[in-house]
Structure 1
Amino acid sequence: MSGSSPRFAAIRQRLRTHGGLWPAGVFLVVLFAIPVVQVLSLSGFDEAGNLSFVQFERLLVTSTYFQVLINTFWLTIKVTLLCLLIGYPIAYLLANVDMRSRNALLVWVLVPMWTSFLVRILAWMVILGRNGVLNQTLRQLGITNAPLVLTQNNIGVMIGSLHAMLPIAILMMLSVMMNIDRSLGRAAATLGAQGPMIFFRIYLPLSLPGIAASGLMVFVSVLGFFIAPQMLGSPSEIVISQVIITQLSETLDWNFASALSVVLLLCTFLVVVLFDKAVGMAALTGDMPGAGQRRGGGLATALSRIGRRSMTAAGWTFVWLGNLLPSRRLSQDFDERPGVSIWLLGILGVLFLALPTFFLIPISLSENRFLAWPPKGFTWNWYAAYFNSVAWRDATIRSILLGLGTAAMSMALGLPAAFVLARQKVYARGAVLALLLLPMVVPHIIVAVGLFYIYARIGLVGTNFGLMLGNAIFSLPYVVITVMAVLRNYDERLDQAAWTLGANRFTTFRRITLPLLKSGVVTGFLFAFMKAVDELAIALFVADAGTNLIPKKLWEEMSYKIDPSLAAVSTLILLIVGVAIAITQVVGASDRTQRRR
């Protein structure tokens, strides 16, 4: 007994040290993992409740569903490649400019992330429509005689999806680029290397974890998209998420919807497993994987070898091309201070991200009866219609209160977990981190259906508490990532100095740690808030018919009628977003001042 007591003491110490992980872990197992597994298990039964593979046989014998999978993957691949190609120069620019310029540009990069996805889709309907901004401009310039068909096809879906995912791709790459040692490039330059060689042989390989993390996030997110394909796409090019919604809401075929969800989830997990083997899930938090972090195994080794050889071939190819071009001009674009072409690409990318939603403001004040450009006349009637609508007022108040409650719940769960993961040696850290980040990569519709299946049994459908729990599943990972990113640059010697002066851990956290991390904490809270306010899947499946929420109300209105009243609602949402961004800027400025002191 005495020999085993040191072992039990070590276990108790580990449980106390890792106690911050338990609430978040138990929360996700109970409300995320179990509901998803239960709803997916329906795919193994027929309509009579007998064990059967008939649902999967329908997928194999019907060519329509195979074409749906092709549509889904083809859209996902194109959007992922575009996000990486367009996002990399923007992230490179942000990583290599001074702090003031970076902060100014980041505000506009973050505008789409803070703005409702439905609002952004509405903005693209205004821009790309037959009477939209782009077609009207092209006709006025004499470039086209007839309006271009830019919606109800793959073009509109790609643009809407690209606009939604590009900010995330940029931030993922930026978090890795910010940790690249700039002295490596200067050392190569002293040995005679020019800009292209430095970039393609040093900088680009070191930024690969960020590229991989961006590709993963974009790929698995677009796999589960249904808003952009539904609003901007064509019925002949539907994706798998649209079919799942149809099976659930129209035909009420839960078993077949479950089989489709299994296929979608298996595709997602395959991509995640390949990514984890080659790079590691820690790359999603911006960590640079070292030699000790890379996993062994034939697959990981093969992927790493292929990547290194591809980068070597690309590097020498561009070095050779660089020698054929004026090296002085080309080198400027790959210097520590970006050149003109990088600045031009960065500014164009920022304008693409920030401008579209602002076209809704003049539309909301127009006397037109439909969404058309240019706006005609001036009226406040659309805002009056919003404020006079009991349904819209109720949806707004309920969404804001639920968003605040969800953000508080996400912070209570995510803040301790982030501290443990960032500061403690956690057993099976990769598995724990994967569990916490998994809601980001699992299609939201699957989770929402699983929650509805569980909530219907225990009476939580349509309740505020049930909605907060559901929204917290998707908000929690953003809190963990944000806080871990801030903790990565936090000097723990400040805490140690406070302990030596007699402060206990709670006092140290309250008086030193939290004030120095308040910008990251506030940003995480606001991210969780905006994510909860914008979460459509939970609003559609967990809220009942009498529960009004902003995303649900917008979805219903956009599905049946399109008029400037939606632009007025979107403008009010933009106002809320502006207040949130202003808060982060004020807190960030205060945090920087306190750090200098």
Structure 2
Amino acid sequence: MKSALASLIRNAGVAPLLVFLAIAFLVPVATVLSLAVWSPVDGFSLASLQRILVTPIYSTTLLRTLEISLWTTVMCLLGGFPIALLINRLRGAARTSLYLLVLLPLWTSFLVKSFAWLVLLGKNGAVNALIIALTGEPANSSLLFNLNAVLIGMVHGLMPFAVLTILPVLDAIDPRLTPAAASLGARTAEGFIRVLLPLAMPGVAAAGLIVFVTSVGFFIVPALLGGPRQTMVANVIIEMVLDLMNWPLASAAALLMFGVVAGLFGLYIHSFGIESLVGRARTPAKSAAAHRPHRQAWRRVGWLAWDRVAEPLGRWPLVPALLRHSHAVLGLALVLFLALPALFLIPVSFTVSGIIDWPPQFFSWRWYAALDSPAWRSAAWRSFTVACATGVLSLAMAYPAAVWLVRKAQRSRVPVLVVVMAPMIVPRIIIAIGLFYLFARLGLIGSWFGLVLGHTVIALPFVLVTMIAVVQAYDERLDQAAAVCGAGIGLRLRRVTLPLLAPGALSAFLFAFVTSLDELTIALFVTGGLSSTLPKQMWDEALLRVSPTLAAASTLIFLLMSSVVVLAQAIRQRRSTQPRTP
């Protein structure tokens, strides 16, 4: 009894978070996935899985989902690495400005970004207008509702994730290694492939994992920018649950999706360790021992790539000169690709016309006035209150868990991290239908509380990662010094601990706030048509008719998100400039 009580006290910091995830994440996901192979009437059966695999329309959709996700991942890595490398090599204001330009599209709603591409690629859009201005004729084929439009939208939405995942790994690499390789006779390409790329592979692999997993569960971009041939598994699951109420078939599709994701997640953990996802490296000895086979493998890949590809290309006279400046030119071009599309929504929101076209016909406030309706006001109020509650609840559970993970050296840290980071890895569509299945039995469908619980599940991993970094940077000796000077617990907390932790905690809160404000997948199911959030209201409007009202709503959300990004970056800079105790 005493040992159990001691264990409970020792693990009290992480216990609330684990209990919450067990109830609001593990149980719903496990329950809904089990429906694919078991039912109270028929018992154990593989009929649903077999139907998914042998029915051409479903099997084709599965393969198409994997294909689109793979192409999206490859393009995000190929584009994200030059941007991350460019930011890594910049200093001062230039680095901060470029970093902000990457953060803006990251925190901009996926719906807003998709609407931006509707403006750009539409029949009367900016790209077609540019083609007409240059050639005198419109594009030969539609720029929308095809695979190219889906890939453009998905790459634009997910590339910032790749950049911000790769960048910390590049920042941790000793900048003297590449010049050292050059001093030993290595060319630019050889130093990159043999030295820099193998060292950056943990970040590249993590970025690939996050982008691929997110792509597999995507439904917004395929629904708005794609055609019937670009339908993905998430779109099929939504139709099966909301329209057909075919739970066994929806669960079978979700189980197959989960199997692919779980396999990739397991491979990543085996290769790089779960702690690399939260910025906690293993001790050097353990890390070297655990990762030596994988580093040797990547080193062999680097040598092979150099011998078979890079070295023959390096003999061409123009290649070395291009390599010296290509990462900067390509990085800047890709940053513009990320940052500019959302800006096209602003002038469209002031158009007089009732359709989205380019150039817009100025000037009218009518579309902003249309937002002053009970439906839009109610959705906005619910979104903001749910986002605030999500931030507070996530922070309340993440901070003590972060302290436990950083300062407690138990062997259970790794399995705890696996559980805590799982909501970031499991596709959101699976979490959403799991919560829908559970909440329907608890009477929480359409409730404000149900939305808060669902959004907190999604936001917790991001808040925890932020708070782990904050706790790691906090110097405990400051508390000890205050105690030596006679300060009690309350005074130390009020005058020392909270002021130092407040900027990081505010950043974590903003992360949860933005994550909740942008969340559509959970709202699509948990609201049950009884209530609405801002993304859900925009989604319903888009399914009926894409009008400048959506451009006006998207502009307001974009400006709000931009303000949050600037505020978070200002907090981050203030923290970095604060003097540290040696």
Partner SS state of residue 292, structure 1: helix
**1:323, 1:85 → 2: CA distance?**
20
Corresponding residue number in structure 2 for 1:346: 331
Return the offset for 1:227. 0.9
Identical counterparts, % of pairs: 39
Is residue 422 of structure 1 aligned with residue 406 of structure 2? Answer: yes
For residue 381 of structure 1, what is the amino acid of its counterpart?
R
Return the offset for 1:449. 1.2
From 518, 543, 547, the equivalent of 2:531 is 547
Return the offset for 1:320. 2.9
Corresponding residue number in structure 2 for 1:146: 139
**2:558, 2:514 → 1: CA distance?**
11
Corresponding residue number in structure 1 for 2:358: 373
Q: Any conservation in 2 of the 1:80–1:219 contact (CA below 8 Å)?
A: yes
Partner SS state of residue 444, structure 2: coil
Residue deviations 1:425-447, cap 9 Å, x none?
A: 13232211111111111111111
Return the offset for 1:577. 1.1
Instruction: Identify if the C-alpha distance between structure 1 residues 67 and 291 changes in structure 2 by more than 3 Å, giving closer, same or farther.
Output: farther
Q: Any conservation in 1 of the 2:507–2:571 contact (CA below 8 Å)?
A: no
Is residue 228 of structure 1 aligned with residue 221 of structure 2? Answer: yes
For residue 160 of structure 1, what is the amino acid of its counterpart?
G
Corresponding residue number in structure 2 for 1:277: 270
**2:580, 2:401 → 1: CA distance?**
28
Return the offset for 1:308. 2.8
From 261, 286, 291, the equivalent of 1:292 is 286
RMSD: 2.6
Between 1:114-123 and 1:183-192, the stretch displaced more is 183-192
Instruction: Identify if the C-alpha distance between structure 1 residues 187 and 355 changes in structure 2 by more than 3 Å, giving closer, same or farther.
Output: same
Partner SS state of residue 45, structure 2: coil
Corresponding residue number in structure 2 for 1:164: 157
**1:552, 1:342 → 2: CA distance?**
39
Partner SS state of residue 36, structure 2: helix
Partner SS state of residue 139, structure 1: helix
Corresponding residue number in structure 2 for 1:529: 513
Corresponding residue number in structure 2 for 1:74: 67
Residue deviations 1:374-412, cap 9 Å, x none?
A: 10121000011111x110011001101110011111111
Residue deviations 1:299-340, cap 9 Å, x none?
A: x8875553331122224557635762569x94896xxxxx53
**1:314, 1:548 → 2: CA distance?**
52
Instruction: Identify if the C-alpha distance between structure 1 residues 57 and 592 changes in structure 2 by more than 3 Å, giving closer, same or farther.
Output: closer
Between 1:36-45 and 1:88-97, the stretch displaced more is 36-45
Instruction: Identify if the C-alpha distance between structure 1 residues 561 and 319 changes in structure 2 by more than 3 Å, giving closer, same or farther.
Output: closer
Counterparts of residues 320-331 of structure 1 (less than 5 Å): 320-321=311-312, 324=315, 330=320
Q: Any conservation in 2 of the 1:46–1:54 contact (CA below 8 Å)?
A: no
**1:37, 1:402 → 2: CA distance?**
26
Partner SS state of residue 178, structure 1: helix
Unmatched 5+ residue regions in structure 2? none
Instruction: Identify if the C-alpha distance between structure 1 residues 510 and 47 changes in structure 2 by more than 3 Å, giving closer, same or farther.
Output: same
**2:433, 2:569 → 1: CA distance?**
37
**2:340, 2:269 → 1: CA distance?**
36
Return the offset for 1:287. 4.0
Return the offset for 1:202. 2.1
Corresponding residue number in structure 1 for 2:82: 89
Instruction: Identify if the C-alpha distance between structure 1 residues 490 and 569 changes in structure 2 by more than 3 Å, giving closer, same or farther.
Output: same
Residue deviations 1:442-461, cap 9 Å, x none?
A: 11111111112111222211
Between 1:32-41 and 1:455-464, the stretch displaced more is 455-464
Return the offset for 1:81. 0.3
Partner SS state of residue 408, structure 1: helix
**1:198, 1:257 → 2: CA distance?**
49
Corresponding residue number in structure 2 for 1:574: 558
Corresponding residue number in structure 2 for 1:253: 246
**1:354, 1:520 → 2: CA distance?**
26
Corresponding residue number in structure 2 for 1:336: none
Instruction: Identify if the C-alpha distance between structure 1 residues 135 and 323 changes in structure 2 by more than 3 Å, giving closer, same or farther.
Output: closer
Q: Any conservation in 2 of the 1:278–1:304 contact (CA below 8 Å)?
A: no
Is residue 38 of structure 1 aligned with residue 31 of structure 2? Answer: yes
Output the TM-score relative to the length of structure 1. 0.91
Output the TM-score relative to the length of structure 2. 0.93
Residue deviations 1:212-263, cap 9 Å, x none?
A: 1000000111111111111111112311111111111111111111111111
- Aligned length in residues: 580
**1:404, 1:484 → 2: CA distance?**
21
Corresponding residue number in structure 1 for 2:388: 404
Counterparts of residues 139-538 of structure 1 (less than 5 Å): 139-142=132-135, 144-146=137-139, 148-288=141-281, 290-293=284-287, 305-316=296-307, 320-321=311-312, 324=315, 330=320, 340-387=325-372, 389-503=373-487, 508=492, 510-538=494-522
For residue 63 of structure 2, what is the amino acid of its counterpart?
I
Q: Any conservation in 1 of the 2:281–2:287 contact (CA below 8 Å)?
A: no
Instruction: Identify if the C-alpha distance between structure 1 residues 321 and 548 changes in structure 2 by more than 3 Å, giving closer, same or farther.
Output: same
Residue deviations 1:457-484, cap 9 Å, x none?
A: 2221111111101100000111011222
Residue deviations 1:22-41, cap 9 Å, x none?
A: 11111111110001111112
